Every structure is written in C-alpha cells, then in structure tokens.
C-alpha cells in the first residue's frame, strides 16, 4: 500500500468519526428544538467549533489528496513517455 492509499484510508476513518460526532450533535439540536432546553456550556460550544473545523479540514484534505494523486499519475505517465523516447 502506497502513501496515497494509506492517506485515503485514514481519511475514511476520520469521516466515520466525524459522521458519528455530527450525529450526536444533531441529536442535541433536535432535543432542544423539541423543547428540552440545554444549559449553556462552553465545553459544548468548543466541541461544536472543533467538529466544524474538523469537517472543513477533512474536506480540504480530500481535495488535496485528489490533487496529489493527479500529480503522481501525471509524473508516472511522463516517466513512461520519457522511457519510450530513449534510443
């Protein structure tokens, strides 16, 4: 397994964790929307902020990985062409 494949697997794991955290957060929102008031908590506010940052960073990392994969494939194709041109 190369580094790009390893990174893709790590991002899939991160996505699962983020999905789980988001599910818990949505349950809290639904509970409050249903009339069960939640007491203000700086810890909950920090957790929500951390979740949103994590979601954004993972989104950016996915785009970066795709870009690295395209660059890597392009370099491999270029090397193949160079070898074909050697006399």
Measure Cα distances from 72 to 4, 40, 66, 79 in Å: 9, 48, 10, 11
The catalytic position among 23, 46, 59, 63 is 46
In a domain, 61, yes or no: yes
Could you read off the pLDDT of 34-86 as tens digits, one per residue?
A: 999 988 899 999 999 999 999 999 999 999 999 999 998 898 888 777 776 65
* pLDDT at res. 85: 64
46 part of the active site: yes
In a domain, 33, yes or no: yes
pTM: 0.79
Domain that holds residue 42: 3-10+21-85
In a domain, 25, yes or no: yes
Instruction: Classify 2 in phi/psi space as left (phi over 0), alpha (psi -120 to 50) or beta.
Output: beta
In a domain, 16, yes or no: no
Could you read off the pLDDT of 11-20 as tens digits, one per residue?
A: 999 999 999 9
């Amino acid at each position: 397994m190369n580094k790009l494949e390893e990174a893709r697997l790590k991002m899939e794991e991160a996505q699962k964790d983020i999905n789980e955290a988001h599910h818990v957060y949505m349950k809290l929102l639904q509970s409050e929307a249903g009339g069960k008031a939640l007491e203000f908590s700086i810890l909950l506010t920090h957790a929500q902020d951390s979740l949103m940052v994590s979601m954004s960073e993972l989104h950016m990392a996915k785009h970066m990985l795709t870009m690295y994969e395209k660059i890597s494939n392009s370099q491999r194709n270029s090397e193949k062409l160079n070898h074909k041109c050697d006399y």
